[in-house]
Chain A
């Protein structure tokens, strides 16, 4: 039966070339789109590693004021902590969670290099963002005595740098001593890959600790924000103060990922509708044209469902030809390791694309086939 169907389609390959091209193209588009979606869904499933509700990022710009910047910044952080509405406050650089900035650093241990995200923060950071420290502890100012600077790494970093070794107390880059390990830290939101990260205790004279992360009590509104901003501004004349809510910044980061996916989905949906309609039209016509053949088959005893199965089967064969060509190309991505993604991602994407194609093809074939099955042998043969 299947061999027979293949032969039927193969005999009319010229008439079906364009149809195959269309299905092939939609397979490729679907493959691309589902790769994108699978990658991001996988990323999304990994926990963020910190909480961001009720956390504000207060950015300070010193502008023309260049005297004593570091100590002024420290004083402001101290001041912010004294407000009753503030649960916790921590200073860090421009690369605060969900911001547009990113700092990278190469971390070496026993001649093994890892590219890591680098954050310079203070002792209140874990507390402010609700980060748990399962191994060791978050650094305290007291840790900075001696030759080495205390650092905390994340689980991903531990995996890539130490494998089975216990990282606590190890020295990396000849200057950092690891005092704690946290789980994930996906600073740019759920859609960010889980990357290695390293946190260093900021030195007291750092002038670029210009962002204060403030965790406020739930229900604190803009009225408090206005008071706080006013107080900071009066202490720091000439400085700029800008407050962002992390929930808003997170939305921006998400949009960066989601908007392209939405656009791609719309384009893809438009293509699929087009292809489906074309397929439907062509099938409908070819069945009308093959009335006499169907009539003959019915007359010699084929059942209605048998006839419709044949047409659906023929369409499947057509789709299979197209998908095989598509798979041949799609397989190159994991083989050549084009975008450095795991093989499982591609395989899942291929599966999804195949499934959708077969689904659409079946839906398009079903109605014309049903019509074909309803043809009465007597009328069909009479027309002939």
Chain B
């Protein structure tokens, strides 16, 4: 039966190449946009190189200090000392790393200038992140204790600074801000869309200009906690919160007295969305309004469009419907036939979209808009898009099919 419907659908498609093109174009374009978007979101939020352990990581990024009148506020990263005291000593997690966010700097090779993004980290950073070492190895607690001037660089900086030679650069000197460091390892770079791991140069926190000696509670360090397994996350958060509650208040910092301290260990998605969600509700409403509107435009309009085209197309087939009705086909059978037909077309569109998405993603990955971009069509994205395919097939099939089923036999045959 179904093969029969599909055969009919194929014949109908071939009869009107123009409408077939319009329908397929609409479906595949919409699905492509959707899939590229999902894949981009997955790139931003999913666990990918080198942050493959995101599902059991907690991020501590912004401390907010407020005074009693709620007038004064100071927020930002923390000092190295504060994090060592309060994060490193936690019992439940597997381990924690303390590092800076991304800073920038310059290096010079002859008359050439290289823009650098730098990061100061501890030795645990290399255990929390899953970097691939192309050459050499990470610095260890021993290097840090010795105060060694060593750095880990990414492959991009290696190529720019040392040239694309075959020989190993481990042990070679590199001069950054007039300090000579020894390269200890080369990693495969991570894209700048992952600011917790992205940098061109990684320094041990004991090297100059890291400001790790700062005595106050604020500074320029953040922390990532790794739980033993993702189920432990609530326990780690609870322990961290307990620790925060024990900090004696009020705190005096740079002459101002703060009575509340707010600092959370959050999962990546929470941390990513908080700057938006934490703001006043008006802004949030506007943001969600805009997102809803864009989604409606991206999904709703093409759907309406498909319904439009399908209604006209099915009406054109009124005589066929009339004959089938006259020979005793029930409304249910007819509705099913048209829904199956539509789902069939949608799936063809889906396949085209898959190919198009592949091309677009390949283009984005190659273009260098995002260095080290690793957008992929993964299984979840594919399943989501298939579901959307089905939804579309259903949406654009049901309305015309119902309308058609209301047609009386006499009218249908006359047309």
Contact A274 to B213, CB < 8 A, known contacts A281-B19, A281-B22:
no
Which of B33, B104, B305 sits near A22, CB closer than 8 Å?
Answer: B305
Count the B residues whose beta carbon is within 8 Å of the partner chain — how many?
Answer: 41
Find residues 224-258 in chain A having any chain B CB closer than 8 Å to their own CB.
225-226, 229-230, 233-234, 238-243
Residues of A within 8 A of B337 (CB): none
Flag if B111 contacts A64 (CB, 8 Å): no
Contact check, B108 vs A229: say whether CB atoms are below 8 A apart: yes
Say which one of B309-317, B346-354, B377-385 lies at the interface with A.
B309-317
Does A233 contact B209, Cβ atoms closer than 8 Å? no
Given A242-B105, A243-B106, A274-B26, the answer on whether A282 and B307 have CB atoms closer than 8 Å is: no
Indicate if A278 sits at the interface (CB-CB under 8 A). Answer: yes
Bitwise, B290-331 to A at CB < 8 A (1) or not (0) is 000010011011101111110111011000000000000000
A286 and B312 within 8 A (CB) = yes
For chain A, residues 268 to 305, give those with C-beta under 8 angstroms from any C-beta of chain B. Answer: 270-271, 273-275, 277-278, 280-282, 284-286, 288-289
Cα distance A61–B211 when bound, in Å?
11
Tell me the chain A residues, 13-60 only, with Cβ under 8 Å from chain B.
Answer: 15, 18-19, 21-22, 25-26, 29
**Does B145 reach chain A (CB closer than 8 Å)?**
no
Chain B 86-111 interface residues, beta-carbon cutoff 8 Å to A: 104-106, 108, 110-111
Inter-subunit contact B26/A278 (CB<8 Å): yes
* Contact status B309-A274, CB under 8 Å: no
Query: How far does the alpha carbon of A222 sit from the alpha carbon of B111 in the complex, in Å?
Result: 5
A277 and B22 within 8 A (CB) = yes
Q: How large is the interface on A (under 10, 10 to 19, 20 to 34, 35 or more residues)?
A: 35 or more
Question: Are A241 and B316 closer than 8 Å at their CB atoms?
Answer: no
- Could you tell me if A278 and B308 are in contact, using CB atoms closer than 8 angstroms? yes
Are A275 and B108 in touch, CB under 8 angstroms? no
Q: Which residues of B contact A280 (CB under 8 A)?
A: 22
A271 to B22, Cβ gap below 8 A? no
Q: Are B208 and A18 in contact (CB under 8 A)?
A: no
How many A-B residue pairs have C-beta atoms within 8 angstroms? Tell me. 110
| Residue of B105, B177, B311 with most partner-chain A CB within 10 A | B177
* Least distance between B34 CB and chain A CB atoms (Å): 11
| Bound Cα distance from A340 to B23, whole angstroms | 41
Question: Which B residues, 102 to 141, have Cβ-Cβ distances below 8 Å to chain A?
Answer: 104-106, 108, 110-113
Among candidates A21, A242, A275, residue contacting B104 with C-beta atoms closer than 8 Å: A242
- B18: Cβ under 8 A from any A Cβ: yes
Q: Which residue of A lies closest to B214 (CB)?
A: A64
User: B27-49: which have CB < 8 Å to A?
Assistant: 29-30, 33
- Contact, CB under 8 Å: A278 / B297: no
B213 contacts across to A, CB distance below 8 A: 64
Identify whether the interface residues of A are mostly helix, strand, loop, or mixed: helix
Minimum distance in angstroms from B301 CB to a CB of chain A: 6
Q: Is A238 touching B29 in the complex (CB atoms < 8 A)?
A: no
Write the chain B residue with the least CB distance to A231.
B178
Report which of A230, A239, A274 forms a contact with B302, defined as CB distance below 8 A.
A274
Chain A: CB-nearest residue to B32:
A270
Q: Are B308 and A281 closer than 8 Å at their CB atoms?
A: yes
Closest to B116 in A: A242
* B interface footprint on A76-105 (CB within 8 Å = 1, 0 otherwise): 000000000000000000000000000000
B272: interface (CB < 8 Å): no
Within the complex, what minimum Cβ distance (angstroms) separates A224 from chain B? 9
CB nearest neighbor in B for A272: B301
Q: B305 near A275 (CB under 8 angstroms)?
A: yes
Least Cβ distance of A252 to chain B in Å? Answer: 12
For the complex, give the distance between the alpha carbons of A106 and B214 in Å: 34
Q: Are B305 and A274 within 8 A (Cβ)?
A: yes
Q: Taking CB as reference atom, which chain A residue is nearest B290?
A: A32
Query: CA separation between A223 and B106, bound complex, in Å?
Result: 13
**Separation in Å of the B302 CB from the closest CB of chain A?**
5
**Chain A residues whose CB sits within 8 angstroms of the CB of B33 once the complex forms:** 267, 270
Could you tell me which A residues sit within 8 Å of B by CB distance?
Answer: 15, 18-19, 21-22, 25-26, 29, 61, 63-64, 221-223, 225-226, 229-230, 233-234, 238-243, 267, 270-271, 273-275, 277-278, 280-282, 284-286, 288-289
11 contacts between A and B (CB under 8 A): A22-B308, A61-B209, A225-B113, A239-B209, A241-B177, A242-B106, A274-B302, A274-B305, A277-B305, A278-B309, A289-B316
**Given A25-B301, A230-B178, A278-B308, 10 more contacts at CB 8 Å?**
A15-B311, A26-B301, A64-B213, A225-B106, A234-B178, A267-B297, A271-B301, A278-B22, A282-B308, A286-B312
The 9 lowest CB-CB distance pairs between A and B, nearest first, are A278-B305, A226-B108, A222-B113, A223-B111, A285-B312, A233-B178, A277-B22, A281-B309, A281-B22
